[in-house]
Amino acid sequence: MEVFLREYKISSNQDLISVDRVCELLKQSYWADKRSREKIEASIKNSVGIGIYDKAKMIGFARIVTDHATMYWLCDVIIDEAYRGNGLGKKLIECITGMEELKGMFGILATRDAHGLYEKYGFKREPEKYMRRDAD
């Protein structure tokens, strides 16, 4: 996938993803600010990464973890703080939810903010349906 929003490129080309830049972006998050580089690198390798680029600089990122048959998990959605408020997050979620390879699957995500954004693209709050087990 390659989509443009003004001068910004949204791409699923895995060769464009910079592990170092994803680490920098995730340091801005509440959920992965302490995640090790090794874990980030492994998570990118084992999922579908989507990047947003301002020329060659990665300014946004999201990962999709999927079984390629029934479900996908949308995670690590992040836009560089300096680029927020430009519609990039909306366009990123629009592109992901429109991906042909995800058609016919249900999607899940976990977030404590931006519920309104995700609801615009068909996600619904399900507070009583999910359980979680923390890592050892």
Note whether residue 74 is domain-resident: yes
The total of structural domains in the chain comes to: 1
User: Rounded distance, CA 12 to CA 133, Å?
Assistant: 30
On whether residue 49 sits in a domain, the answer given is yes
Closest of 64, 113, 62, 67 to residue 92, by C-alpha = 62
CA–CA dist 114, 54 (Å, integer):
23
Per-residue model confidence as pLDDT tens digits over 7-25: 999 999 999 999 999 999 9
130 lies in some domain: no
Residue 58 belongs to domain with CATH number:
3.40.630.30
Q: What is the pLDDT of residues 60-105, one digit of tens each?
A: 999 999 999 999 999 999 999 999 999 999 999 999 999 999 999 9
32 inside domain: yes
Residue 19's domain comprises 2-119
Say how far apart CA 131 and CA 104 lie, in whole Å. 23
